[in-house]
Amino acid sequence: MLDALLIAGTVVCAIRAIRARHLLSAALWLAGVSALTALMLYKLGAEQVAVVELSVGAGLVTVLFVFAISIAGDDGLAEREFIPNWFTVGLVGLFLLILGIMLLPLDEMDGAGSKTAMAEMLWENRTLDVLLQTVLIFSGVLCLLGLLTDSHAPAKHNIPHEANELEIEPMDERPEEMMA
């Protein structure tokens, strides 16, 4: 019962996030999706991932959304259809039908079963992934710094206008003693 409630809540939050008129509302509904996803992950037994999802997905990403919306403003762009709504719904429905036929019912897979602890799995068996994540985080931070820099801000090292009015003699016309 609780599982069905969690799933239904997540679906409702996702629908509200997509259909929300204001961007801030969409960001808050998305935080709800993340929090409920973290709860489901916890109930699946993936405690570590649930904690990371709750802190990063529901915390950090929501803060970033609110930050971006507060900088750029909410222009309340009305939804306009690129393609007809019936075609979109049909396309998504067809895709989900094919995916559902392929996946359901989810039988027990023939996995060998691994008793390796997650820390060992992450730091020893998947070292390359950890390295990649580190590079990804740093490149993300650098991209963020580069993109959030105001491109219209005046450069700090501009030559002051007064300097253009100074009469500086060309090097060739200066007396030789000065050159020496």
Partner 1 sequence: MNLDILLVGVLAIFGIGLYGLLITRNLIKVVVALQILVKAALLALVAAGEASNQLNLSQSIAMTVIVADTVVAVIGLALAVQVKRVLGTFDTTLLSKLRG
Contact flag: residue 112 with partner 1 (CB under 8 A): yes
Contact flag: residue 51 with partner 1 (CB under 8 A): no
Interaction mask 113-152, partner 1, x per CB under 8 A = xx-xxx--xx--xx--x--xx--xx-xxx-xx--xx-xxx
Position among 91, 154, 161, 174 found at the interface with partner 1 (CB under 8 A): 91
CA distance linking residue 60 with residue 137, whole number of Å: 13
Q: How many residues bind partner 1 (CB under 8 A)?
A: 90
Residue 43 beta carbon to partner 1: minimum distance, rounded to whole angstroms:
5
CA distance linking residue 49 with residue 122, whole number of Å: 12
Nearest in space to 56 (alpha carbons), one of 148, 149, 147, 137? 137
Tokens of 118: 């997650």
* CB crowding 97-117: b at 16 or more within 10 Å, else e: eeeeeeeeeeeeeeeeeeeee
Position among 106, 159, 179, 180 found at the interface with partner 1 (CB under 8 A): 106
Residue 157 beta carbon to partner 1: minimum distance, rounded to whole angstroms:
22
Contact flag: residue 30 with partner 1 (CB under 8 A): yes
Residue 137 beta carbon to partner 1: minimum distance, rounded to whole angstroms:
6
Contact flag: residue 63 with partner 1 (CB under 8 A): no
Nearest in space to 70 (alpha carbons), one of 131, 37, 22, 110? 22
* CA atoms lying within 13 Å on the CB side of residue 27: 16
Of residues 11 and 174, the one with the C-beta less far from partner 1: 11
Binding window for partner 1 (CB under 8 A); candidates: 15-23, 156-164, 165-173: 15-23
CA distance linking residue 150 with residue 146, whole number of Å: 9
